[in-house]
Structure 1
Amino acid sequence: MLAVIRYSVPEARAEEFELHAREVIDLFSAQSGFLRGQVGRSVDEPNLWALVSEWEGAGFYRRALSAARMTMYPLMTLMINEPGAFEQVYPKG
């Protein structure tokens, strides 16, 4: 399962955002079912960021979100409200 959370981050908050996003990935990495994660920034729209993680299944991801909610709290106001959990339909590689 692939999880993508996008954020709209003003330039003045980019450094702070990146530190918090790294903390979230670090916290996720300690959770059961976590496979990998990364923080990315759009090359075309620098205010658009993504926190991307891969999980063994949706249940693992949802439990990790619950465990990470206090760490994620400072990022909530920057989050773009959209579906972010994706089932893999064609894995390759």
Structure 2
Amino acid sequence: MIVITRYSVPEADSVAFQTDAATAVDVLSRRPGFRGHRIGRAADDPTLWTVVTEWDGAGYYRRALSDFDVKVQAVPLLSRAIDEPTAFEILAGGDL
């Protein structure tokens, strides 16, 4: 499964956001079921960012969110995400 969180970040806060996102991904990457991540910014709107993580399944992601270190280091960033669905089941794929 993939988790896509989007963020509206003022340009003046972009460096701090990148630091916060890297910290969140680092702590999430230590949890079982984590496969990888990407951090990106919209080409046409430098205030729109995304953090994409991939997991072995929804259960792994949900259990990761329950971890103490994740609650302390990642959930503060995740709670600032735009309020929309974030977890997606992968139905088809190919090489990146």
Structure-to-structure mapping, 1:1-93, within 5 angstroms = 1-67=1-67, 68-75=70-77, 78-93=80-95
Cα pair 2:65 2:75 within 8 Å, conserved: no
| Stretches of structure 1 lacking an aligned partner (at least 5 in a row) | none
- Which stretches of structure 1, 4 residues or longer, exceed 4 Å deviation after superposition? none
SS at structure 2 position matched to 1:49: strand
| Stretches of structure 2 lacking an aligned partner (at least 5 in a row) | none
- How far does the alpha carbon of each residue in 1:23-80 deviate from its partner, in whole angstroms, 9 at most, with x for none? 1111111000000012111111100000100000001111222332221354356420
Calculate percent identity across the aligned residue pairs: 43
The number of equivalent residue pairs is 93
CA distance in 1, matches of 2:51, 2:64: 14
CA distance in 2, matches of 1:76, 1:25: 10
Q: Structure 1 pair 19/9, CA: closer, same or farther in 2 (3 Å)?
A: same
Normalising to structure 2: TM-score of the pair?
A: 0.87
